[in-house]
Amino acid sequence: MTNPELISFDSLLENGRSLLESQIIEAQTPEPGRLDLVIGPSDLPQAVQTLVDNHWGYLAAITGLDRPESSEVEALYHFCSGPAVLTLRVRVPYAEPALPTICGVIPSATLYEREFMEMFGVQVTGTPDPQRLFLPDDWPEGVYPLRKSFNPQEKVPQVKPKANGDNAGRYIVPIGPQHPALKEPGHFEFTVNGEIVTGASVRLGYVHRGIEKACEERTWTQAMYLLERVCGICSNSHAYAYVLGVEKLAQVEAPERAQAIRELVAGLERIHSHLLWLGVAAHEAGFDTLFMYSWRDRETVMDLLERLTGNRVNYSANLIGGVKFDVDDEQRRTILAGLDYLEERCRHYLDVVSTDAAFLQRTRGVGTMTREQAELLGVVGPTARASGVDRDIRVEAPYGSYRRFPVSIVIEHAGDLEAKFVVRVKEMLVSISTLRALLDNLPPGELVARVPRRIPAGETISRVEAPRGELFYFIKSSGGDKPERVKVRTPSICNFGSVIHTAVGHQFADMPMLLAGIDPCFSCNDRMIVVRKK
């Protein structure tokens, strides 16, 4: 029988190929559901414009690849449409590393371009914001951390930071990197006219840890434990995305029982993450009672995760090829009892965020983003679904056991902060319902499949729906016992662009709530650090 997903892949990708026929230098199909099209640098803006005009997916990520064997840097522009991924591959030589910007077509691409420029040394001409995004101001020119020639062990010289330009005539209010409204360090600059925001910019990189580069020096298994520490709240999502990608490269499928347990941990993690966010966002709104109650109930799901995995934050549930632990009858009964309690509390919270008059003054009609804006800005997760965009990888490109235990997508259309609260609380209720069905029908079988130590050469893309939205992994193997390249695109960097755009025209007092509304995770984005040795 023909797989219906492959039919969907083929039709979507053939449509994408036909749209760009005149610009294609080379076409490749690295794996089912993917199409790579090599085009010239000068054709890039028009190719992107064609995809956008024909509503072919959204820009999910830009991956950089260093190719020292040919003295080239390759930029991969990944467009996703449901289960299909179309990648525009553009190669530039070391001698003249320059690419045209695509921000005129996709405004949110500026953050991806800024990261690509500073990590790989390719100049993106015409970009509206050429400033650094992650590297510190005293980082020297000509040193690019993700080039193969960069040695993390060598000392990087400090240089005198450049001036930030002329700000005469503008009144700029900074938030961060250390600020009561930010639970992690990030730096935002808001240009204001009185109390109204007229411009905004973001600077990240304050908690970089070098994880992408470090993966290249570790075995496939060691890299899994490293990637699980990209983020504490969605640690399982990172490990999940990574092991799914490695298993695809190895042509290994985890047993059905292991896949179901992965979904169980992912569902509990989603409830944990949304309860944590609910408390933080309520605190930013001055609603500390809701903060205290939601964090009290968060202890319930953390206790369940600890009982199941042995850990309350970094669950370490996954192995390449399966999972580490089983679920016995006693654990099943304990989890079901905890879900009963959490369902009751979530229904109460849904009533609070929808009816409390004081709370609605800070959320209803604030930070509104239309569906058209959300699609143009490429936002993901609850941020997108609150604006009516039905984008959920678990539904549109199901992976693991989501085919057997599907979830229903939660959509709101108002696009304001209230809608973001409602979506996340309803998602907890959906997760509770799905987890009950999963626990009542947990498939029998083994927990781990055998995986070779050396992963066959190839490239793969792995996408999972983390609590904040689509988590995108690009993994490349050269056939050895270590990854050649691991690219991590987290949902937060997709959603930061929406804050920068929706901030304009709002009261400055709304900025902490606008930031909290996307559930930002700074450590997810910041993956490298500079260590100054004496």
Q: What tokens does 430 get?
A: 């959906």
Cα–Cα distances (Å) from 160 to 143, 144, 365, 522, in that order, read 15, 18, 45, 26
Exposure letters 466-479 (e unless 16+ CB within 10 A, then b)? bbbbbbbbbbbbee
Q: What is the radius of gyration, based on Cα positions, of the chain?
A: 23
Judge whether 490 and 521 are in contact, CB under 8 Å: yes
Which pLDDT belongs to residue 533?
A: 47
CA distance 389 to 373: 10
Cα–Cα distances (Å) from 188 to 196, 503, 525, in that order, read 15, 11, 15
Matching residue, tokens 């056939």: 479
Prediction pTM value = 0.92
CA angle 82, 59, 125 (to 5 degrees): 165
For residue 60, give the nearest of 463, 484, 466 by alpha carbon: 463
Which pLDDT belongs to residue 116?
A: 93
- Tens digit of pLDDT per residue, the chain (534 long)? 334 444 466 788 888 888 888 888 999 898 888 999 999 999 999 999 999 999 898 999 999 999 999 999 999 999 999 899 999 999 999 988 999 999 999 988 988 999 999 999 999 998 888 888 888 888 888 889 899 998 877 777 777 776 665 555 678 888 777 666 566 777 788 888 888 888 888 888 777 667 888 899 899 999 999 999 888 888 899 999 999 999 999 999 999 999 999 999 999 999 999 999 999 889 888 888 999 999 999 999 999 999 999 888 888 899 999 999 999 999 999 999 999 999 999 999 999 999 999 889 889 988 889 999 898 888 999 999 999 999 999 999 999 999 999 999 999 999 999 999 999 999 999 999 999 999 999 999 999 999 999 999 999 999 999 999 999 999 999 999 999 999 999 998 888 888 888 888 888 888 888 888 887 777 666 554 444 444
Which pLDDT belongs to residue 191?
A: 87
H-state helical runs in 90-198 = 109-120
Matching residue, tokens 């990574």: 242
Which pLDDT belongs to residue 463?
A: 96
CA distance 11 to 322: 32
Q: What is the 3-state secondary structure (H, E, C) of 358-424?
A: HHHHHHCCCCCCCHHHHHHHCCCHHHHHCCCCCCCHHHHCCCHHHHCCCCCCCCCCCCCHHHHHHHH
Q: How many C-beta atoms lie closer than 10 Å to residue 433's C-beta?
A: 15
Torsion angle, CA of 260/262/265/271, rounded to 10 degrees?
A: -80
DSSP state, residue 155: P
Matching residue, tokens 């205290």: 292
Which pLDDT belongs to residue 183?
A: 67
Domains detected in the chain: 4-125 (3.30.460.80), 211-318+329-494+512-525 (1.10.645.10)
Q: How many C-beta atoms lie closer than 10 Å to residue 255's C-beta?
A: 18
Put residue 33 in one of left, alpha, beta given phi > 0 → left and psi -120 to 50 → alpha: left
